[in-house]
Amino acid sequence: MSDKSADIVLSVRDLVVRFEAADETRATVLDGVTFDVIRGETLAIMGGSGCGKSTLLNCLIGEITPDEGRILYHLPDLGEVDLAQADEKTRNAVRKRFGILFQSGALFSSLTLAENVALPLKEHSHVDEDIIDIVVTMKLQQVRMLPHRDKYPAQLSGGQKKRAGLARATALDPEILFYDEPSAGLDPVTSSAIDELMMDLSRKLQVTSVVVTHEMDSAFRIADRMVMLQAGRILRIGPRPEFEALRDSEPGQLAANEDRLIQQFLTGSSTGPLTDSEGKSEYEKLLVDGRPPR
């Protein structure tokens, strides 16, 4: 992947999000998050529960306005748009350029599968019904769900709902696809099949993908680059082979506490800085004394 500025479709700069805590103080959920998304790549955003990745995704799709920072989309026809500062009309114009696969699939239970996929076309395009039906057929065929077009969400399995949600997410031929925990709640075989489908669609549609996940098997299958979030900050960002090498290293060979923390998360080990009180203290010191390298 090239890192030239012309290839960047999304730039996140110094993003800060604070939420009001129970004691009326302001808790920092994202603290200075900065990264780029390169056109055509699949970027996996990883981290444990409470690390801020869901908040980050909601910022990227315009559902949460950050307290500080910029979310710069670089899109043909629209130019550079800072979603963090844009008005609602501009936000809606940007939203039409990306698709979202939510964790649950987020299908409307009262609509058939075909009607769910047709909904974005009816709401955001001006094409005839006959053309909409052709597009729906194509999108369902892409995710291998055409035989189920007249079923309702309650009649679908978890994996089928994910496929259906993906068909709807691609209905408007988006330039960017956002995935919220696409493997959540799926068995390993179905999860692998969804990953294969995501990679297939990325190749065929030449779409940029941003995947929020804590499923490491899935992340290592699909990602070109990976971002590790911890305590609202980016701990590491780099190409997948860099994370694979760290995952496969012997823990005793890792001198840096940061490396050992990342490896523990990648391998799912029960011992290491994330669970060891002394190691956790070291990491907390790292956050106080200076931000981890990006």
- How far from 59 is each of 68, 83, 89, 235, 291, CA to CA, in Å? 11, 9, 17, 19, 21
| 28 and 14 share one domain | yes
Read off the pLDDT band of 82 (50, 70, 90).
very high
| 39 and 91 share one domain | yes
| 13 and 70 share one domain | yes
Q: Is the pLDDT of residue 5 over 90?
A: no
Among 6-10, 193-197, 274-278, the range scoring the smallest mean pLDDT is 274-278
Q: Is the pLDDT of residue 18 over 50?
A: yes
Q: For residue 43, give the CATH number of its domain.
A: 3.40.50.300
Query: Angle 239-195-156 (CA atoms, 0-180°, nearest 5)?
Result: 155
Classified as helix, coil or strand, 248 is helix
Counting the structural domains of the chain, the total is 2
| 242 and 287 share one domain | no
pTM given for the model: 0.86
Tell me the percentage of the chain whose pLDDT exceeds 70. Answer: 90
| 14 and 77 share one domain | yes
| 222 and 284 share one domain | no
| 12 and 84 share one domain | yes
Among 34-38, 200-204, 246-250, 278-282, the range scoring the smallest mean pLDDT is 278-282
| 238 and 223 share one domain | yes
| 87 and 70 share one domain | yes
Range of the domain at 78: 1-97+217-248
| 242 and 262 share one domain | no
Classified as helix, coil or strand, 225 is strand
What integer best gives the mean pLDDT of the chain? 86
| Residue 151 in domain | no
The pLDDT tens digits of the residues spanning 103-114 come to 766 889 999 999
Q: 158: which residues sit within 8 A by CB, 6+ positions away? A: 185, 186, 190
Long-range pairs for 233-237: beta carbons < 8 A, 24 or more residues apart: 233/31, 233/32, 233/33, 233/287, 233/291, 233/292, 234/33, 234/34, 234/35, 234/292, 234/294, 235/261, 235/262, 235/292, 236/262, 236/292, 236/293, 237/35, 237/294
